[in-house]
Chains A and B, each alone.
Chain A
């Protein structure tokens, strides 16, 4: 009896201890205070003694190589001063979760600096993951000036009037175009929506007539790389690859459509504001491209522009096979793709002995503007990367070092732009060094004017705003929702986004 009582007591005590530990762990924690250990040398410059910055970056393959180049330049420059930085790419899709988790649960292994997507900055600032940088630039007596950066890009790095990040670049999705097929068929690369529709109509018409010249890009099949007018792809020809789960294009096309038709993505509170008539009209147009029904400015379509069976696998494969002429992807692939296409098709001649440039890019300016003469028609939705400092950096010296690192990296990032990005720093944009780079003339200048890029807006409700809009694009192409009107789709997703924001706020 007594033994039983003893055991019972022990179990109860164990459970009570576990409960107490649970309560303690649940309520524990808190941001540490910043230790003022900053020292200056006789010239008034901050002194760093073996400061090594741990940098986590969301920039992955293929452009992380170019970022490393700039980082190496920084390390060379600051080696004598005892300041170094090491970048670790975290590109498994868990970057933001991993940062938040590590900062809270394992601060010793947390990064000092993170390179993140600037549209997510407000959320991270609100969640106290990153800290304002202004005072550390002041403390470093650095010549940092926000005016040196494009105002549309650095604007997204502010949260509650404080600067939380230094912008590195801005970029947008681009259309990869089979310029050889266009040229061979006497067509020109479009630069407006009307021209885009006309080109697609012409391609379909020619294919139906059996007069469309096309060829594949296939290093394993030499014969497929020869020009032909055969109906290789069946009865229908779909010149554009757009899919409900294609991924990357959902992140740029509907957003750009909102801007080019006079709308904006967020309101002053950071709530979604994209449920505009302009968006609905463009989405209806996309649906018509999939069904082949309806008309564009009173002119009927020659056929379906989009197959309805496309997915992530077909984005590149259909472009390569010549089955499509336009395919949307991230700008960071541009150099690799150009090299690949040019090495296989660049020297190939047609029956007249002529060669054709096989691949080109098309930025989204004016591609979704229903009124091409409107002032906003040239706007492009852009996203960027920026540098921020994590709150777990408790040494003022290290925070100053991190701020200087961010400034250096963004002001000397010429080589990084090779990966398909446009600089956020005005000094780089206007520099001769940048304009003399082969990659600038080869493809960067085709990306459009970075001052025309419009960002998401400072919203801590990134997911609800951004993902909600992406879902509209998917829904419009989803055959399961064919019975729903575009109006219904947009309004349902808009109300959903608001419901999720309200639920978050009411937690």
Chain B
């Protein structure tokens, strides 16, 4: 026989339910749609990807799917006889080298431009617009512009220099063009972030530095850079993550080429290009391996950004101590102020009266 619910139990349950909706109703209303789509398009694919990475996964025939445990990860990380291992690390090496060259450039060049534009020379608004302009172009469009510039037979650059340089057919020059495109197309974003940071630097700091006899360079290093440190960290963070996913520029300009005599991925194959080429191949059962590679890449990027956050964290010996000291001094001054308040008030009144 089912247990009877007492009136008080019912009332308690009902009030709990009411209380829950009262507490979380608005939160669910506003966050609910976001959470739903976040779950659908981020969390679910992430777990789906994790499951796929542990399997041999075929997109054409589910009967071929088979549990592989950590075998895919083992191949990527330790099995040097597998081409998946060698091609993955070859593409990763290309990506890391590219990031090592481009990331400093992609932060320093916009920083210099931002400092120059921030000094508001004549026509600085035009410069600002021109610098940001490439950022609004899609990669395919800017890629076409660069192909028109660096094409071997009909490229403008070759016409200007009067030579027939096969820019995109040689490894070094192909990387040069890719880096140039990334820099040109990507500096607008960092420029805007850094410009906003520069606008917010307290002018009195510059005045104080000038009074102390700082040169322009000294002011830039001792005032400007520390003041925009949070923006620099954001730029560094987003640039590293962004360029570890380099794909569009490579696809448009070289499609991974020029050819590599020893392996299928070409000389400018980045890790994203390699993953994409695996997925575009006619090998339908490689998706488990690709998922494992994607997760490995995610882990590596996570480690790099973690390391970066660790290295750029606010140290206790840095401004934190200074701020604590400033707060301590402020408290002290307030205490002193409270202790001497009547006398000061009296003297102020006297002074005011005298002035009047």
CA distance A29 to B59 in the complex (A): 10
A25 within 8 A of B: yes
Produce 1/0 per residue, A302-320, CB < 8 A to B.
Answer: 0000000101011000000
Contact between B259 and A27 (Cβ–Cβ < 8 Å)? Answer: no
CA distance A480 to B262 in the complex (A): 13
Q: Choose from B83, B171, B261 the contact partner of A475 (Cβ within 8 Å).
A: B261
A230 within 8 A of B: no
Contact between B259 and A500 (Cβ–Cβ < 8 Å)? Answer: no
Contact between A129 and B61 (Cβ–Cβ < 8 Å)? Answer: yes
CA distance A20 to B114 in the complex (A): 49
Chain B binder among A93-101, A278-286, A344-352, A395-403: A93-101
Produce 1/0 per residue, A235-277, CB < 8 A to B.
Answer: 0000000001000000000000000000000000000000000
B289 within 8 A of A: yes
Q: Choose from B23, B44, B171 the contact partner of A22 (Cβ within 8 Å).
A: B44
Contact between A14 and B61 (Cβ–Cβ < 8 Å)? Answer: no
Contact between A19 and B47 (Cβ–Cβ < 8 Å)? Answer: yes
B200 within 8 A of A: no
Chain A residue with minimal CB distance to B164? Answer: A309
Produce 1/0 per residue, A26-38, CB < 8 A to B.
Answer: 1111110000000
Say which size band chain A's interface belongs to: 35 or more
- Enumerate chain A residues within 8 angstroms of B83, measured Cβ to Cβ: 496, 499-500, 503
Chain B binder among A46-54, A120-128, A155-163, A292-300: A120-128
Chain B residue with minimal CB distance to A493? Answer: B261
Residue of A100, A479, A480, A481 most packed against chain B (CB within 10 A): A480
Residue of B58, B164, B170 most packed against chain A (CB within 10 A): B58
CA distance A104 to B65 in the complex (A): 12
Contact between B259 and A463 (Cβ–Cβ < 8 Å)? Answer: no
A12 within 8 A of B: no
Q: Choose from A6, A22, A492 the contact partner of B261 (Cβ within 8 Å).
A: A492
CA distance A31 to B63 in the complex (A): 8
- Distance in Å: Cβ of A86 to nearest Cβ of chain B: 23
Chain A binder among B102-110, B117-125, B276-284: B276-284
- Enumerate chain B residues within 8 angstroms of A21, measured Cβ to Cβ: 44, 47-48
Say which size band chain B's interface belongs to: 35 or more
Contact between B56 and A507 (Cβ–Cβ < 8 Å)? Answer: yes
Contact between A120 and B84 (Cβ–Cβ < 8 Å)? Answer: no
CA distance A328 to B282 in the complex (A): 26
B5 within 8 A of A: no
Contact between A28 and B39 (Cβ–Cβ < 8 Å)? Answer: no
- Distance in Å: Cβ of B183 to nearest Cβ of chain A: 25
B57 within 8 A of A: yes
Q: A23-B51, A104-B60, A309-B153 are in contact. Are A127 and B65 (CB under 8 A)?
A: no
A471 within 8 A of B: yes
CA distance A18 to B288 in the complex (A): 18
- Distance in Å: Cβ of A280 to nearest Cβ of chain B: 15
What is the interface of chain A, defined by CB distance below 8 A to chain B? 3, 6, 14-15, 18-19, 21-23, 25-31, 94, 96-97, 100-101, 103-105, 120, 123-124, 127-129, 244, 309, 311, 313-314, 462-463, 467, 471, 474-475, 478-481, 484, 489, 492, 496, 499-500, 503-504, 506-507
For the complex of A and B, the 3 pairs showing the least CB-CB separation, nearest first, are A29-B62, A22-B47, A100-B60
What is the interface of chain B, defined by CB distance below 8 A to chain A? 20, 23, 39, 43-44, 46-52, 55-65, 75, 82-84, 152-153, 164, 166, 169-171, 258-259, 261-264, 280-286, 288-289
15 A-B contact pairs sorted by A residue (CB < 8 Å): A21-B48, A22-B49, A23-B47, A25-B51, A31-B61, A104-B61, A127-B61, A244-B259, A478-B259, A480-B170, A481-B261, A484-B261, A496-B263, A503-B82, A506-B82
